Amino acid sequence: MTGASPSIDELRAVRAVVFDFDGVFTDNTVLVSEDGIESVRCWRGDGLGLARLRAAGVVAHVLSTEVNPVVSARCAKLSIDVVQGCEDKAASLVTLLGGLGVSHDEACFVGNDVNDAGCLSAVGLPIVVADAHPDVRALARLRTTARGGYGAVREVCDLIADAHQAVGGAS
């Protein structure tokens, strides 16, 4: 991670991590077949990171502006809940966190682009991936060393899971 690192207490306070999908789970590339079917590239190790996060007692979700079957398929494979078709991502985040009983101070959002700005501003621990758009970098407390689609999700999961496990597990 680059930037001012949060304390172990701040990382331990995280009860939910909400991820953008395109550009975070993926490298922001989309392959489109002649019949319009989309494919994306994801990092296989993210699944192990998400499992560690769950084992630490931290909830993970995906919040996506788009509605896309590839997002549904990848999230189902990873056993992670997803909310798609968010016209107002920040409002969707607030609703999601309220449903989980998680305050904004206990939430982390991981994004990469300008449509994530509201979400990054609405949580206690805003994180962007290494190749995030310059306009959102200043909103983040941390910037991963890994690019989106190249292990950024795993990096965030490991950081938070390690903090929870370093002091005896989740509270």
Distance CA 136, CA 12 (A): 24
Chain mean pLDDT for the chain: 93
3-state secondary structure of 143: strand
What are the pLDDT digits (tens) for 12-22? 999 999 999 99
Q: What number does CATH give the domain 8-166?
A: 3.40.50.1000
- Give the length of the chain: 171
How would residue 7 be classed by pLDDT, with cut points 50, 70 and 90?
Answer: confident
Alpha-carbon distances, residue 162 vs 18, 57, 96, 141, 159 (angstroms): 18, 12, 25, 18, 5
| Residues 6+ away with beta carbon under 8 Å from 99 | none
What are the pLDDT digits (tens) for 43-85? 999 999 999 999 999 999 999 998 999 999 999 999 999 999 9
- Cβ atoms of 108 and 123 closer than 8 Å: yes
